[in-house]
Amino acid sequence: MTDQRDEQLQRLAQALRNTQLPPDAALRRLAETLVDDDSYSHEQAEQDLPGYVSAALVGQPAAQQYPALHRHLLHCQECAKLHVAMLQDLTVEPARVAVPQPDLFFLPGAYTRRLRRAVLRLAQQIGAVLFPDSLSALADVADLLLDELQDLGPNLRASPAAGAALAFGSGDLPDEIKLLAATWAATGRLGETLNAGQIASLQEAGAWPERARSVALQAAVDLGFGPRQAERFAREFAALAASDPAAIPTRTTS
């Protein structure tokens, strides 16, 4: 983690300590996913790491099962090194044992799985243009942020006090939060209000790019983006949606 990134997270932690936003405010919940939990110790991390590694190796969502540990690994170099060492030890000589079929009750529905994959892919493509320095951070925190976004739904909005409380517009809220939240809102709103047939009709009429742009612009504005940044986000989102309408998963096909 870079010194600049450390400083940004420290400012974010201070903003959260001072914020007047209620605990269930969308921006507060998203910001808290990136701030280390002081009550979670190295000793607890060492206890949880075997289960975390085992879950990851059999394809289970380790970040969802161990959110405090996953967040801790973003901040603690010592535990992150231990995590890497344990992965290496377990993958050099894989044990020849039958792996039981995991209980998949925790997996979201098919549409939500497609939505999460699509949002991450779109956010990475948009981020390469708008926030290239944040792409590695986005990969690190995507699972945690998407879990919160999934709970919040696509119609999340910044509260009127959010900009002042978390300095959203000034950049103190990390770019990957802004990027992923806006992409989630725009993609989810399109996917839940249109079906595949309607998107195809809009495309045939030449109206699909503008529909995608307007929804993306509104999502960015709802989340407190400045006018210029909102326009840039909407333009990039619309270009990707126009080049591949199937990139926007829909809840229904017709």
Is 101 within the bounds of a domain?
no
Q: What is the pLDDT of residue 103?
A: 42
- pLDDT of 215 strictly over 70: yes
Calpha distance 127→107 (Å, rounded): 27
Are residue 207 and residue 241 in the same domain, yes or no?
A: yes
Retrieve residue 67's tokens: 């959110």
Residues in Cβ contact with 140 at an 8 Å cutoff, skipping those fewer than 6 apart:
74
pLDDT of residue 198: 95
Task: Read off the tokens for 110.
Answer: 């098919």
pTM over 0.75: no
- Cα–Cα distance list, 177 to 146, 197, 224 (Å): 10, 32, 12
- Summary count for the chain: helices (H), strands (E): 13, 0
**102 belongs to a structural domain:** no
* One domain, residues 130 and 196: yes
Angle at Cα 181 formed by Cα 132 and Cα 213, nearest 5°? 80
Same domain, 80 and 130: no
Q: Is the pLDDT of residue 12 over 70?
A: no
> Looking at the structure, do residues 171 and 114 belong to the same domain, yes or no?
yes
* Residues 135, 229 within the same domain: yes
The rounded mean pLDDT for the chain is 79
pLDDT of residue 110: 83
Last residue of a domain, one of 30, 64, 92: 92
Separation between Cα atoms, residue 254 and residue 246, nearest integer Å: 14
Q: Is the dihedral of CA 221, 224, 227, 232 positive or negative?
A: negative
> Do 75 and 131 fall within a single domain?
no
Q: Binning pLDDT at 50, 70 and 90, where does residue 7 land?
A: low
Which of the residue ranges 15-29, 36-50, 52-66, 160-174 would you say has the lowest mean pLDDT? 160-174
Q: In the prediction, which pLDDT does 4 show?
A: 58
Per-residue pLDDT band at 36 (split at 50, 70, 90) = low
- Higher-confidence residue: 98 or 127? 127
Are 118 and 230 part of one and the same domain? yes
Which residue's structure tokens are 């209000």? 193
Q: How far apart are CA 172 and CA 156, in angstroms?
A: 19
Tell me how far apart the alpha carbons of residues 130 and 227 are, in angstroms, rounded to a whole number.
14
Position 163 pLDDT exceeds 50: no
Same-domain check for residues 11 and 40:
yes
Q: Inform me whether the pLDDT recorded for 104 exceeds 60.
A: no
Residues 128 and 201 occupy one common structural domain: yes
Query: What CA–CA distance (Å, rounded) separates 114 from 249?
Result: 6
Closest CA to 103 of 55, 147, 145: 55
Give me the mean pLDDT over the 124-137 stretch: 88
How many angstroms separate the CA atoms of 170 and 96, rounded? 53
Looking at the fold, whether 81 and 114 belong to one and the same domain comes out as no
